Chain A
Amino acid sequence: MDQQHEQARVDGHARTPVATIADEHRRNGARLDSDLARQAAAGRTVRDDAAVVFDLDDVTVSYAGFPAIRNVSMQVRERMITALIGPSGCGKTTLLRTLNRMNDLIPSASVEGTVRYKGADLYARHVDPVEVRRRIGMVFQKANPFPKSIRDNILFGPKATGMTFDADDLVEKSLRGAALWDEVKDKLDSSALGLSGGQQQRLCIARAIAVEPDTILMDEPCSALDPIATGAIENLMRELREHYTIIIVTHNMQQAARASDMTAFVTTEVSHDEDGRDRRSGRLIEYDRTEVIFGDPRDTRTEDYVSGRFG
């Protein structure tokens, strides 16, 4: 009941009553009974009526003609945390970078199929990747603050995109939004590289939200961080979900179970080309609510992965 209460408070504008995942989880009688399944079922809400932000239809991404991930069709909904999980090299990051045209920076990369963002084809001829990236921010695996002051890191994007802004307000708002303000408010003009790894990653999140994007893509943002810093980032993600759509690639299944609303499981499939050589490419195996993926997956490959029998 507490959870429903919480839900009503958070989601006061929801048009349809929404059951918590935990309730549904209990009704369904989950197949898996693990810590992950319990974490995944704890106090989570998925709004079935949330607008579709990304609509992928049969998307294949290739490097130099070889598909890294193929035939992905999925819909990502607004203001939720969607996790992409799967073994190393399965194409999760490639898929993520397709969503804000970051793969354009790799000359050999090509995309087939359609990626629609709020109804617009991201790969249509007239689309400017710079404009795409302004709306769809990105946080990287390794924190990559610019070798400039904390303030200049925040203001870089707004200056680059020609926003009009009040510098002091924007710096404070962005740093508060990334739960970093109290730690750095007295040293805004010192180098961002003097911050700890976890602080640097939160600065990168602050930098991303300073340009007021709609969506934030996170590529294993906690893989280089200790558990405390990871916890801080996960708390932050839950706060950011109020305003942003978040897609996160993670190797850490606990993280996906704890933090995400929806989970997509991607894995590597081996096929043989006409010469009999192995061709490895990623496939989207299963995409569902996080509690279903971790508690009651439909595909045995997903079940093997989330229960630790593979990968």
Chain B
Amino acid sequence: MTSDVRGAGGPAVDLRAGSRRLGEKLVLTLLWVCAAASILTTVGIVVILFSEAAGFFREEAVSLRGFLTGTTWQPFGGAQGKFGVLPLVAGTLLVTVIALLVAVPLGLTSAAYLSEYASPRTRRILKPVLEVLAGVPTVVLGYFALTFMTPLLRATVGQLTTISVFNAASAGIVMGIMIVPTVASLSEDAMSAVPQALREGAYGLGATKRHVVHSVVMPAALSGIVAAIILALGRAIGETMIVALAAGNLPNLTYNPFEQIQTMTAYIVQAVQGEAPRGSLTYESIFAVGALLFVITLLINIAAARFVRRFREVYS
């Protein structure tokens, strides 16, 4: 009964792709190339970092163990140099811890205020202002640390203890101010994303605003808050300009925040500016320090991911 079907036996409808499909393929290829380029760049950086660092450890003068556990960093003595990285790691951690001590309380309270207390109008004005702070060039902040924060510290805390012109505290505090917007803005996003239904549930039970914020909103937003702190931590560890300007260039294994120190990043700047000849121990040590910095950041990220998976309160 083919006659029932209209057009049966005639030429079939053309269902092949028209020419405009070619443009779509082109766009797809372009997108793929862009995505691949950024991934390949990352892979390339990691490969070069680690292969150059491996060259450093093949030298007779150094061992991986000696590098990681040594407490003296005197990299400019050629073969007589001492390459114990701990003073640089300690300097980096000292400045980072100070920065977090400033940024986490300031950032979280700002986020809680913006998300839970501020009127929509206030939030519309304050949040962009806060984010502008993230755009201040770090070299400006470094100057701010050296010419404002250090004199301020010396005029106040300096009455009680000696504060070196270059010191970890000043750089750490200003670095903390630098990462407040990161902590505040991302934590605010996480808190605002907590469903209103959860807040109403708590208010409906007679909870005060303060209780709602710290017992419902904060725990539910924990994964976002931790992610914000980790991102800020990454910026602090990798930050170079502020520490190079204000924290000094003296590899110094100390926990005293008022002494001059050197961070891993500041050393890299110093060594590169010192025009260490390619292939020399000093030159290769840059990559070893860089690789270590990379590994530390990676470990922190992994630890944070585990922490979040274990403690976050999933609300969907």
16 inter-chain pairs at a CB distance below 8 angstroms, sorted by A residue, are A107-B119, A130-B206, A130-B207, A133-B204, A137-B205, A139-B204, A140-B204, A144-B197, A144-B201, A146-B202, A146-B313, A147-B219, A156-B215, A160-B206, A193-B314, A211-B205
The tally of CB-CB contacts under 8 A between chains A and B is 79
Whether the pair B220, A147 counts as a contact (CB closer than 8 A) is yes
Interface size class of B (residues with CB under 8 A): 20 to 34
Known: A100-B204, A204-B201, A210-B205. 4 other contacts (CB 8 A): A133-B205, A147-B220, A147-B315, A156-B205
Whether A137 contacts B204 in the complex (CB less than 8 A), given A147-B315, A160-B215, A193-B314, comes out as yes
**Chain B residue at minimum C-beta to C-beta distance from A147:** B313
Interface residues of A in 206-243 (CB under 8 A from B): 207-208, 210-211
What 10 pairs between A and B have smallest CB-CB spacing?
A134-B206, A157-B205, A147-B313, A138-B204, A160-B207, A144-B197, A144-B201, A147-B315, A160-B211, A133-B206
In the bound complex, CA of A100 to CA of B313 (Å): 28
Shortest CB-to-CB span from A284 to chain B, Å, is: 24
Whether A148 contacts B208 in the complex (CB less than 8 A), given A102-B200, A140-B200, A156-B202, comes out as no
Contacts of B199 on A, CB cut-off 8 Å?
105
Q: State whether the Cβ of A131 lies closer than 8 Å to any Cβ in chain B.
A: yes
In the bound complex, CA of A54 to CA of B55 (Å): 82
Interface residues, chain B, with chain A CB atoms under 8 Å away: 119-120, 195, 197-208, 211, 215-216, 219-220, 313-315
In the bound complex, CA of A207 to CA of B315 (Å): 17
Contacts of B205 on A, CB cut-off 8 Å?
133-134, 137, 156-157, 160-161, 207-208, 210-211
Contacts of B200 on A, CB cut-off 8 Å?
102, 105, 138, 140, 144
Q: Which of A100, A156, A204 contacts B207 (CB 8 A)?
A: A156
Contacts of B314 on A, CB cut-off 8 Å?
147, 193
In the bound complex, CA of A100 to CA of B200 (Å): 12
Whether the pair A146, B204 counts as a contact (CB closer than 8 A) is no
Contacts of A208 on B, CB cut-off 8 Å?
204-205
Whether the pair A211, B120 counts as a contact (CB closer than 8 A) is no
Contacts of A159 on B, CB cut-off 8 Å?
215
Shortest CB-to-CB span from B208 to chain A, Å, is: 5
**Chain B residue at minimum C-beta to C-beta distance from A210:** B205
Contacts of A138 on B, CB cut-off 8 Å?
200, 204
Shortest CB-to-CB span from A144 to chain B, Å, is: 4
Interface residues of A in 156-191 (CB under 8 A from B): 156-157, 159-161
**Chain B residue at minimum C-beta to C-beta distance from A141:** B197
Whether the pair A161, B201 counts as a contact (CB closer than 8 A) is no
Q: State whether the Cβ of A142 lies closer than 8 Å to any Cβ in chain B.
A: yes
Shortest CB-to-CB span from A55 to chain B, Å, is: 22
Whether A160 contacts B208 in the complex (CB less than 8 A), given A146-B216, A147-B315, A193-B314, comes out as yes
Whether the pair A102, B203 counts as a contact (CB closer than 8 A) is yes
Contacts of A137 on B, CB cut-off 8 Å?
204-205
Contacts of A130 on B, CB cut-off 8 Å?
203, 206-208
Among B202, B205, B313, B314, chain A packs the most CB atoms within 10 A around the CB of: B205
Whether the pair A140, B215 counts as a contact (CB closer than 8 A) is no
Whether the pair A157, B206 counts as a contact (CB closer than 8 A) is yes
Among B197, B204, B208, chain A packs the most CB atoms within 10 A around the CB of: B204
Shortest CB-to-CB span from A117 to chain B, Å, is: 14
Whether the pair B203, A105 counts as a contact (CB closer than 8 A) is yes
In the bound complex, CA of A210 to CA of B203 (Å): 14
